[in-house]
Amino acid sequence: MFVSPNDGAIDASGFLNSTTGFLPVPILITEPAVGYGGGLAIAYFHKKRDDKEAKGLSPTVSVLAGALTENGTWLAAIAHQGSYAKDRIRYLGFFGYLAPKLAVYFGPNDILEGKFNFDLNGFATMHEVLYRVKKEIPFFAGANYTFFTNTVKFDTGINIPEFETFERDTNLAGMNASFLWDSRDNSFTPTKGIMSGLEIGRFATYFGGDTNFWSISSRTYAYVPIASKLFSGYRLNVASKTGDVPFYALPDISLRGIPMMRYQGANSYTIETEWRWNLYKRWSVVGFVGMGEAMKDYSQLGKDIKAAGGCGFRYLLAEDYGLHVGIDVARGPEIWAWNLTVGSNWFR
């Protein structure tokens, strides 16, 4: 089940298409914001790629995962992504307990200035349902709901016992109208097509939260084959939030080589391109570069651009699913970073 009948190479397609159908995925965490760590995800593939009706559809997968990092960050979660009624309906949801230990960076216009450590501990869940508006067109519309109840413990850096830490129980809850265009040829490692999503939402006390703010975000990933063995990808993410936004929910620059939450603002954008060359049989090399900004408002556009880039390799692990895995090494404005990639680096 782990050898391809086509080329005799190591391939997990037969295993995923079997009655067992699950894929153990080692989690190697190299995110600089939380330190090195690891865990395990068990993914179960419900629709097999040897099933004629399943071919070409968005995959239906259930995942059970847990992970721990060197700074004490940990998580446990169960998630499900489903495609139903021949891809007329899509569902995405998860339940999890998250306990990240992160850092936030405040600027001169904030109450405090500098880097400050904080902990989050709490239960999170998200559920999204999308409906394909017309059978022949890959356009979906729907809604999603997010809820996160957590305890925030903040290290102020003030050397006075009663002010050294700040702790508060808080809830974050909101609902988004969600619109998606998805013409990709593959959900794991696409080679052509476009996925473009738009979310417009309200986070408010009447949804179960403690704060009120508006949120709008968009993501567009375009994939263009250049030659038979050369593929290019282009990414644009834009996000804006206005109102009483918790500091840990502010938009940030999301690039390989930049730690999570390193650059935050009420508005942010990220632009990136990635190129993959199928060098030899199942092996490919990739190169990528991107830039972004986090701003208080768009009048600051172009004044504080951050860039990152790097390279890596991929191996086609499951031919029937178009699933590639590999490792990337990236350099940002301040640090080097590396990460294990399963499928695409570009996701929600």
DSSP assignment of 213-224: EEEEEEEEEEEE
The DSSP bridge partners found for residue 110 are none
Residue 112 has pLDDT above 90, yes or no: no
> Which tops the pLDDT comparison, 80 or 107?
80
Q: Dihedrals φ, ψ of 152, to 5°?
A: -100, 125
Give the model confidence (pLDDT) of 62-90 as tens digits: 999 999 999 999 999 999 999 888 889 99
Q: Residue 153 has what pLDDT?
A: 87
Q: Per-residue pLDDT for 23 more than 80?
A: no
Q: Which token pair is 301?
A: 């556009």
Q: Which two tokens stand for residue 92?
A: 């995405």
pLDDT band of residue 46 (cuts 50, 70, 90) is confident
> What does the DSSP 8-state code read for residue 14?
H
Gap between the Cα atoms of 12 and 320, Å rounded: 9
pTM of the predicted protein model: 0.87
- pLDDT above 70 as % of the chain: 90
Residue-level pLDDT at 159: 59
Using a 10 angstrom Cβ sphere, with 0-12 exposed, 13-18 middle and 19 or more buried, the burial of residue 220 is middle
Determine the distance from the C-alpha atom of residue 94 to the mean position of all C-alpha atoms in its chain, rounded to a whole number: 13
Number of neighbours of residue 153 by Cβ within 10 angstroms? 15
| Token output for 290 | 């991107």
Per-residue pLDDT band at 20 (split at 50, 70, 90): low
- 3-class SS shares of the chain: helix, strand, coil, % to 5: 5, 60, 35
**pLDDT tens digits for 239-295?**
999 999 998 899 999 999 999 889 999 999 999 999 999 999 999 999 999 999 999
Note whether 78 and 66 are within 8 A (CB).
Answer: no
> Looking at residue 44, what is its pLDDT?
87
pLDDT tens-digit readout, 113-167 = 677 788 999 999 999 999 999 988 999 999 999 999 999 887 766 655 555 567 7
Q: Which of 319, 152, 109, 155 is nearest to 248 (CA)?
A: 152
More confident call, 330 vs 156: 330
Q: Map residue 94 onto helix, strand or coil.
A: strand
